[in-house]
Amino acid sequence: MDIKALFAEGIRFSTSGAKLVVRKNGLGYSRVLISPARKFGTSVARNHIRRICKEIIRLDKPLLGKGLDVGIIVFPGYGDSYEVWEERLHKLLSRISTDDRLVQKSTSEEI
């Protein structure tokens, strides 16, 4: 994953406590980067939120689509329960599937 290109050229979405950056990667699968902000807290807190985000993404994989690089930046101070983050990330991931710049249009040639 080219992280510099993701953050330079990616399409951004945000909600309270998290920011999502998405870019097409030209591959048949999607790749995900989860990065807590620098001031998130101890390494235990950063790893805890990273595990929560990974599980939510695993369960919401159909919303993610294929052929995308996705970067998720998580900010401190917005609660750390699973339910809170599930709602936030589900909201962000659902925006990917509705954005015309990212949705791959099906053509008659593909059918």
pLDDT digit string (tens) for 61-72?
887 878 889 999
- In the chain, how many domains are there? 1
Q: Are 35 and 1 in contact (CB under 8 A)?
A: no
Q: How far apart are CA 10 and CA 99, in angstroms?
A: 13
Domain encompassing residue 44: 3-98
Angle at 68 between CA 109 and CA 6, to 5 degrees: 135
pLDDT of residue 107: 44
Q: What pLDDT digit, counting tens, does each position of 27-54 carry?
A: 888 899 999 988 888 888 888 889 999 9
Q: What is the CATH number of the domain that holds 19?
A: 3.30.230.10
Say how many residues make up the chain: 111
Is 104 inside a domain boundary? no
Is 15 inside a domain boundary? yes
pTM: 0.80
Is 106 inside a domain boundary? no
Is 76 inside a domain boundary? yes
Is 105 inside a domain boundary? no
Is 87 inside a domain boundary? yes
Is 38 inside a domain boundary? yes
Is 8 inside a domain boundary? yes
